Structures are given as C-alpha cells and as structure tokens.
C-alpha cells in the first residue's frame, strides 16, 4: 500500500505539473502579456478584500488551490490548427489565456477608488503598479484609504406627515450618528422608506424623490446629513406634487390566461370571463386552471389600498404553483386614485413521465431496479400536484430471484387543508398541504418476506430564506409474515437491533423541520451560511390514550396496538454549514452536525430506521456507510451489514475545499471527523456508550479527495476517503500514518455532501 500511495502522489503531482507547467503563454500574441497575478493591498480593516475583487475589470485565469491553473493548462495543450477535433475539444473545455489590458487596469483603479469614496473614504487614492516579465504581467493595486468620514448629525426634513413619520422612526432607520458616510447605506435607507411608503397606497412615489444634503467638516472628517424631498415636491399645490402624493386603490384584478398552444392568426381564440370574489379571470373557452386556486395565491385585493409589498408576495405565490410557467403583473391607471391590476399567466406543462433504470449490488449479488415516475401538476384544475412512483427490483441469489416492488403516491394542495379555518386565514398562511401513502413488498430467498405500509400528512411553508415543514402525522407499519429459521438463528440473535429490524413494528410520529440561509443571489461571492434543524416525537398520543382508557400493558411491560408494541421516542438534529468564498471557482466549506434520539415510555430503544449511522458519502468518508461506531464497537459480521452499528447520538465535523478544474469537472480536498454513540449500555453494542470523559478519544478522523461533475441541474460526486484516526484499534495503531487498502473507502453520490 505504501508503494501505491507514493506512486499515486507522484502521478498526481506529475499531472498537475503537466497542466500548469506547460507553455501557458503559447497563445499569447507577440508583444502581449499573460495576466499572471493581481494583488490588492489596502491599509484599513474597515473594507474586506472580497468586496474589492468585485470591482476588478480583469482577473487572471482561474486556479485550483490558488496554485494550479488547470483550465489554462488544458487550453495550452491544444495545437494551433483549430480544424482538428482534439484541438477544438481542448480549447472548449479549457480556458483561453487572459491577456493583460492596460485600459482595463486603469478602469479597475477608478472603480476601486469610486467604491472607497462611496464607503466614506472620501480622500482615498488608488495606485497600480505593473510588472512585465517573460510575457507575463503582474498587477498590484495599492489603496491608500486615509481617514474615513463619519456622520455626526442626522436629521429628516420631509414635507409630508406620513413620509416624515416613516423616515424619522429611529428604531428602524439604517442611518446612525457615528457610522461611516456610506453611500450604499444611504441608498438602502431611501429604498426602505420608499418601500414602506408605497405599502400605504402611494403608487407613483419613487426613491428618486428623496435626496440628501451633506455638509462635511474636513478637519474632523465628519458630516452633518439631512434627508429632504426634491424642491419641486415641497409645494403641495403643485400639480405634480398632488399626483405623486395621491393614494391609489385597486379597482379590479384580472387574471389573463395565455396558453402556450395558441391558435393560428386566422383562427381567433374564444375566451370566457369568470368572476370569483371580485376577481376576474379571462381564459380560453376550455378551462385550464380554476380561478379560486389563483385567488388563494394572490395578495393584491380589489377595493384595497395599493400595497407594493403584495406584488412580490403575489409573484412568489403564483410562481410556486406547478401548473404555472410564467407570471407578469402590471397596473393600469383607470381613474383618479384607481388602478386595475392585470396578471398575465402562461400555464406550464401539466403532465410529465420519467423512468430510471439502475444496476444494484448487495451483499455480493447483482441485480437491477426500475423506477417509473408520473407527475400531474394540475390534476383537479386547481394546481394540485399528483405524484406517482412505481418501483421494482430483482436480484439473482443462487438461482432464486430476490424481489422488491411497490410504490408511493403523493397529493399536494396549494393551500392549507384545515377544517373550520376561515378562508382568509388559510389564504394568508401561504402554505401547501401534502397527503402521502406508500406500500412496499420485499422477498429475500432464505431470509424473509416483509411488507411496509405508510401514510402521512404535512404542511409546507416557504418564507423567502426560510422553509418550514410540519409533519402533522406519519404512520408506518412493517409486517414480517415469514422469517426463515436458519436466518433467524444465524443472524437475528446477534443483537437487539439486528433482531428489531426484522420484527413487526408500528410508528406513529409527528414533527417539524426547517432550514434557513443568508445567501444573497445578488451578491454570490459573499460568504454565507445555511442551517437545517428538525425535531420529532412518536407514540405520545397512543401512550396517552392507553393511560386514559386504562389499557393494560403486555407481559413485557409495553402497551400494544393490534398486538404490536408501538415506538415512543424523541429525536432532534441540527446542521450548520458555512461557505467561505475566495472567488467564483474556489471556496472552503465548513460543516457541523449534531443529533440525539431518546427512547422513553413504551420503548426501550429507538426504532432502527430512526437511529443514526456514521460513515458513508455524507459522513466520515474514510468509512463505508454504517461501518463506523457506535463509539469503539467492533462489528460482528464483516460480510454483511451489522444493524448494531447505529446510535442515539451523532456528531459530524467536516471541512472541504472545492475548486473548479475544467469543463464540468470540480475537485475537492476534505477532512471529516465524527462518530455515533448510544445513550444506554446495550449488551450487543459493547463500547458504544457515550461518556463525557472518553468520547473525545472516540472521534474518528478521515481525509480524502474527490471529483464532482456539475451538470448545473445535478451534481455527480466521486469521493475517496482514507482513515487517519481509527478509534476502534488499539491505541498504538489508531493513527494511520501508513494506511492500508482496508483504510480506503470510495463513494459515489448525487449532490454535495453538505
């Protein structure tokens, strides 16, 4: 393994040197220079370099780790005869050299200086220095910030009572005395005030009507700032002022349905007008979507004051309907103080059908699987979504076919399905409701037959950067009509979780899960974080009913439903991911995850499918899925999955560098740490109990590299993880300085690990 390891290192370095060390100036014209390096030096910490990079008009070719310009190297491998296929291919997947442009360097200096001035550094100067050598250019920008100007006094003088009240509210204002004289912040305050004002009916008002008056004090580097209206709006009797400060009401709201399959020009399309709650829908003679589904997701109301915020809410609501492809909202002034709202809608494709075929490999046996998916996004003409999936899999095991088949169904309504709730309450809640059901049958020769039946109901709520999912209820019943004696005697007696996984069981749960992010699509190069969290509980309603009705427990002390002991537990998880972005091609991603599951009441253990496992493509990648932990537990059976390798507590910590190589290919270098533990000292999970004084020494560590294929709509991933610290081994062998082949794990997955 050591020789292989050295060989891999040498080959990797050789490839990198080949791609980056070849003649990168091959396609640089005579008398021109390759832009090799760009550096920014600034003498203040009040401005981040990542903000400055956005104003550079020319940057070098992209690199990996800031060292290897693989895309440029691939481009340079091409010959100059572009008629040959290989040369055209190398140029297409590579990156053309960036030729130094003095004019763009000067423009970059000007843009950097303007940015600094806008941030309050009114005396900032930007100088650039260019070094030309060996057909390569290195540009250095030196920013001398000098002392910034700050706001000393701030006053609001808007000659309109409502506008003045909004702007003078210091609890909401973005401007504070003592802050930097930041033009971007001043503009954001104008936008905030304008948005609030337009929410109260002032349709014609714009942020351009608000201006600032600034009086700078050079010796103290301070500014006295005043917010005012433009002069021509201070005369209340002026006709323009009266138009600008006139409140508008919405008279009518019209939905105009424009199908994509329009008739030819010589065949005019027949249209009908349908009314519902003062809304009108102009639609082709053949109804495509019901008007009440549109009204449920429209927040611009007839006979109500114009409210600018409701436009964005309506866009969000209508675009969330799968039956709609395109939405456009416009207003027409029809009378003094009256507007008509026109919402143009293009329906989307309602029905889609897809199929998936895959090869499988389980416990040494090959097989195949097929999934058929049918989706109707407008099943009842009210933008309801019906999804059907049929699954079938076969596997040849010693001349006998193992089988797995079944399917699931989901029906989602674009509204809250809640008895006795008012129409306005359900509309304002802006949520979806989903009902689901599933059935699966599985037969494995010589082992077992099983059926799995499930059903559930949940609510979805989306609020910009937040997502909320409420599982009102979910039931799952697993039934084993047959377990072969040899399999029971040889495997199920090896542990509580190995046996539990093959027992009839019933779970009735409810829960909540959510996510949030501060990612800003308008500033994609800014660092951001995402959070995911969940909480669920099971069995409480059934346990309460058993006590209320005076039911007697079985001989084992557990209550039963239809002679099946039901599960009772509490489970919660929290995951935090942080993206540190260097440029559009390079970033570090940090992740931490923690979970805990606690059985109580009617259960001695958390159900197997609700416990945690470690290792695998999204965990500590030096271990295969479900082969790490709990604690220092040693697996019993290395030939098949050991269901004892699950836990009640999970900890994950990950760090990953992601860089673009070329074409669709991305690279990754990562380090993972984590493990799982039990909260009870189970006999068949020796060494798995969580203890405060020893868990730190039981955290496994792995490192590795990966390749990702980014197809924009999906990311395919291949990772190779290597054990660095294995807590199961004796102390002298835990650090795997010279790893063996059994310390390596390969993972193929879809999507990023976190």
Q: What is the Cα–Cα distance from 547 to 543, expressed in whole angstroms?
A: 6
- Tell how strand 715-725 and strand 700-710 pair up: antiparallel
Q: What is the token pair recorded at 197?
A: 């004002």
Q: What is the pLDDT of residues 389-428, one digit of tens each?
A: 999 988 776 677 888 999 999 999 999 998 888 888 888 8
Q: Distance between CA 392 and CA 404 in Å, rounded?
A: 6
Q: How confident is the model at residue 21 (pLDDT cuts 50, 70, 90)?
A: low
Question: 524: how many CB neighbours lie within 10 A of its CB?
Answer: 11
Q: Is the pLDDT of residue 179 over 80?
A: yes
The token pair that represents 388 in the structure block:
């059907």
HSE (CB half, 13 Å, CA atoms) of 331? Answer: 19
pLDDT at 401: 80
Q: Are 441 and 406 in contact (CB under 8 A)?
A: yes
Beta-carbon contacts of residue 193 (< 8 Å; ≥ 6 apart):
163, 166, 167, 207, 210
* H or E element that contains 63: none
Q: Which two tokens stand for residue 188?
A: 């954001």
pLDDT at residue 83, as a whole number = 84
Taken in order 177, 179, 181, 184, is the CA torsion positive or negative?
A: negative
Q: What is the dihedral of CA 374, 376, 379, 381, to 10 degrees?
A: -170
pLDDT at 261: 53
> 């049929």: which residue's tokens?
390
Q: What is the pLDDT of residue 14?
A: 44
Residue 376 or residue 364, greater confidence: 376
Q: What are the CB-based long-range contacts (under 8 Å, 24+) for 288-292?
A: 288/257, 288/259, 288/323, 288/347, 288/378, 288/381, 289/257, 289/323, 289/324, 289/345, 289/347, 289/378, 289/381, 289/382, 289/383, 290/381, 290/382, 291/255, 292/382
- Separation between Cα atoms, residue 10 and residue 304, nearest integer Å: 72
178: helix, strand or coil:
coil
- Of the chain, the percentage scoring pLDDT greater than 90 comes to 61
Residue 1 has pLDDT above 50, yes or no: no
Q: Is the dihedral of CA 687, 690, 691, 692 positive or negative?
A: positive
Peptide bond before 630: cis, by omega within 30 degrees of 0?
A: yes
Least confident of 38-42, 256-260, 382-386, 714-718: 256-260
d(CA 505, CA 472): 20
Which residues lie below 8 Å from residue 713, measured CB to CB, with a gap of 6+? none
Considering only residues 538 and 423, tell me which one the structure prediction assigns the higher pLDDT. Answer: 538
Mean of the per-residue pLDDT values for the chain? 89
Instruction: Examine the pLDDT at 675 and tell me if it is beyond 80.
Output: yes
Q: Beta-carbon neighbour count of residue 530 at 10 Å?
A: 17
Lowest pLDDT segment from 57-66, 141-150, 171-180, 340-349: 57-66
Supply the pLDDT for residue 641.
63
Asked whether residue 373 carries a pLDDT value surpassing 70, the answer given is: yes
Three-state DSSP at 477 gives strand
- Beta bridge mates, 143: 42, 126
Q: Please give the average per-residue pLDDT across 339-364, as a whole number.
A: 84
Highest mean pLDDT among 267-281, 396-410, 574-588: 574-588
Q: What pLDDT was estimated at residue 295?
A: 94
* Pairing, β 34-42 against β 136-144: parallel
pLDDT confidence bin for 497, thresholds 50/70/90: low
Q: Where are the beta strands (DSSP E) in 663-725?
A: 665-677, 700-710, 715-725
Cross-strand bridge partners of residue 717: 708, 749
Give the pLDDT confidence score for residue 452 in this predicted structure: 93
Q: Residue 69 to residues 5, 22, 94, 473: CA-CA distances in angstroms?
A: 25, 11, 10, 53
- Tell me the pLDDT tens digit for each residue of 188-243: 999 999 999 999 999 999 999 999 999 988 789 999 999 999 988 888 778 888 89
Both tokens assigned to 124:
């900032």
Would you state the pLDDT for residue 362? 58
Q: Which domains does the chain have, with CATH numbers?
A: 2-144 (3.10.20.310), 150-244 (3.10.20.310), 249-347 (3.10.20.310)
Whether the per-residue pLDDT at 265 is higher than 80: the answer is no
- Confidence band (pLDDT; 50, 70, 90) for 318? very high
- The pLDDT of residue 7 is above 60: no
Reported confidence tier of residue 433, pLDDT bands at 50, 70, 90: very high
Q: Please, are residues 518 and 512 in contact by the beta-carbon 8 Å criterion?
A: no
Q: What pTM does this model have?
A: 0.82
Q: How confident is the model at residue 9 (pLDDT cuts 50, 70, 90)?
A: very low
> How far apart, in Å, do the first and last CA atoms of the chain sit?
30
Burial of residue 163 (CB within 10 Å: 0-12, 13-18, 19+) is buried
- Read off the tokens for 720: 């190779």
Is the pLDDT at 495 greater than 70, yes or no? no
pLDDT of residue 215: 92
Residue with tokens 């033009």: 183
What three-state secondary structure class fits 155? strand
Structure token pair of residue 625: 């899925």
Q: What is the mean pLDDT of residues 373-385?
A: 95
Residue scoring higher pLDDT (399 or 677)? 677
Question: How far apart are the C-alpha atoms of 337 and 335, rounded to whole Å?
Answer: 6
**DSSP letter at 204?**
T
Q: Which range, of 101-110, 202-211, 601-610, averages the lowest pLDDT?
A: 601-610
Who wins on pLDDT, 482 or 651? 651
With H, G, I as helix, E, B as strand and everything else as coil, classify residue 177.
coil
277 has pLDDT over 90: no
For residue 352, give both structure tokens. 């889609």
pLDDT at 640: 60
pLDDT attached to residue 81: 82
pLDDT band at 691 (very low <50, low <70, confident <90, very high): very high
Confidence of residue 706 (pLDDT cuts 50, 70, 90): very high
DSSP 3-state of 209: helix
Tokens 């070849």 -> residue: 22
Helices (H) and strands (E) in the chain, counts: 14, 29
**Is the predicted pLDDT of residue 499 greater than 80, yes or no?**
no
Q: What's the token pair of residue 134?
A: 């060996």
């Amino acid at each position: 393994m050591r020789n292989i390891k050295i060989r891999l290192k040498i080959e990797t370095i050789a490839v990198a040197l080949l791609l980056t060390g070849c003649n990168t100036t091959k396609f640089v014209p005579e008398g021109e220079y390759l832009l090799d390096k760009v550096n920014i030096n600034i003498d203040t910490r009040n401005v981040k370099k990542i903000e400055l990079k956005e104003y550079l008009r020319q940057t070098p070719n992209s690199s990996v780790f800031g060292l290897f310009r693989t895309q440029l190297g691939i481009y340079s491998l091409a010959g100059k005869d572009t008629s040959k296929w290989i040369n055209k291919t190398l140029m297409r997947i590579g990156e053309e050299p960036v030729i130094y442009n003095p004019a763009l360097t000067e423009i970059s200096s000007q843009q950097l200086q303007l940015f600094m001035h806008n941030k309050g550094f009114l005396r900032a100067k930007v100088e650039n220095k260019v070094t030309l050598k060996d057909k390569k250019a290195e540009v250095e920008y030196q920013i001398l910030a000098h002392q910034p100007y700050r706001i000393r006094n701030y006053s609001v003088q808007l000659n309109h009572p409502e506008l003045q009240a909004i702007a003078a509210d210091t609890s909401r204002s973005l401007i504070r005395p003592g802050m930097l004289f930041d033009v971007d912040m001043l503009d954001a305050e104008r936008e905030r005030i304008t948005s609030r004002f337009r929410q109260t009916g002032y349709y014609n008002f714009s942020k351009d009507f608000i201006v600032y008056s600034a009086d700078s004090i050079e010796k103290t580097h301070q500014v006295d700032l005043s917010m005012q209206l433009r002069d021509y709006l201070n005369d209340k009797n002026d006709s323009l002022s009266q138009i600008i400060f006139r409140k508008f009401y919405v008279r009518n709201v019209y939905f105009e349905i424009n199908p994509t399959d329009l008739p030819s020009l010589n065949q005019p399309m027949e249209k009908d007008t349908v009314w519902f709650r003062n809304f009108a829908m102009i639609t082709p003679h053949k109804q495509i979507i019901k008007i009440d589904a549109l009204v449920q997701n429209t927040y611009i109301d007839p006979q109500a004051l114009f409210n600018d915020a409701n436009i964005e809410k309506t866009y969000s609501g209508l675009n969330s309907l799968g039956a709609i492809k395109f939405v456009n909202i416009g207003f027409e002034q029809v009378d003094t103080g009256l507007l008509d709202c026109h919402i143009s809608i293009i329906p989307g494709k309602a029905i889609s059908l897809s199929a998936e075929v895959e090869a499988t490999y389980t416990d040494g046996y090959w097989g195949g699987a097929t999934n058929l998916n049918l989706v109707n996004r407008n099943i009842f003409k009210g933008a309801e979504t019906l999804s059907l999936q049929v699954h079938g899999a076969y596997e040849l095991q010693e001349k006998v076919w193992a089988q797995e088949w079944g399917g699931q169904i989901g029906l989602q309504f674009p509204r809250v399905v809640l008895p006795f709730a008012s129409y306005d309450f359900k509309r304002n809640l802006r949520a979806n409701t989903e009902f689901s059901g599933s059935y699966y049958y599985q037969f494995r020769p010589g082992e077992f037959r099983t059926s799995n039946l499930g059903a559930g109901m949940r609510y979805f709520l989306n609020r910009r950067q937040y997502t909320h999912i409420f599982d009102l209820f979910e039931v799952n019943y697993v039934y084993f009509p047959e377990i072969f004696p040899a399999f029971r005697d040889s495997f199920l007696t090896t542990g509580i979780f190995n046996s539990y996984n093959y027992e009839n069981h019933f779970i009735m749960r409810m829960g909540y899960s959510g996510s949030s992010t501060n990612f800003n699509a308008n500033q994609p190069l800014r660092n951001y974080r995402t959070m995911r969290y969940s909480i669920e509980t099971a069995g409480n309603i059934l346990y309460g009913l058993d006590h209320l009705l005076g039911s007697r427990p079985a001989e084992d002390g557990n209550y039963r439903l239809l002679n099946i002991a039901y599960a009772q537990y509490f489970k919660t998880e929290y995951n935090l991911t942080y993206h540190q972005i260097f440029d559009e091609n390079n970033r570090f991603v940090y992740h931490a995850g923690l979970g805990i599951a606690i059985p109580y009441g009617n259960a001695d253990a958390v159900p197997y499918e609700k416990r945690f496992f470690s290792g695998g493509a999204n965990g500590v990648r030096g271990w295969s899925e479900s082969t790490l932990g709990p604690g220092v537990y040693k697996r019993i059976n290395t030939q098949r999955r050991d269901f004892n390798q699950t836990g009640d507590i999970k900890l994950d910590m990950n760090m990953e560098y992601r860089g673009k190589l070329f074409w669709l290919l991305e690279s990754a270098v990562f380090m993972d740490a984590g493990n799982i533990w039990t909260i009870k000292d189970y006999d068949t999970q020796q060494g798995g109990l969580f203890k405060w004084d020893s868990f730190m020494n039981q955290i496994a560590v792995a490192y590795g590299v990966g390749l990702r294929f980014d197809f924009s709509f999906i990311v395919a991933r291949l990772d190779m993880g290597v054990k660095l610290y294995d807590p199961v081994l004796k102390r002298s062998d835990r650090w795997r300085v010279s790893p063996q082949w059994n310390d390596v794990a390969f993972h193929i997955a879809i999507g990023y690990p976190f």
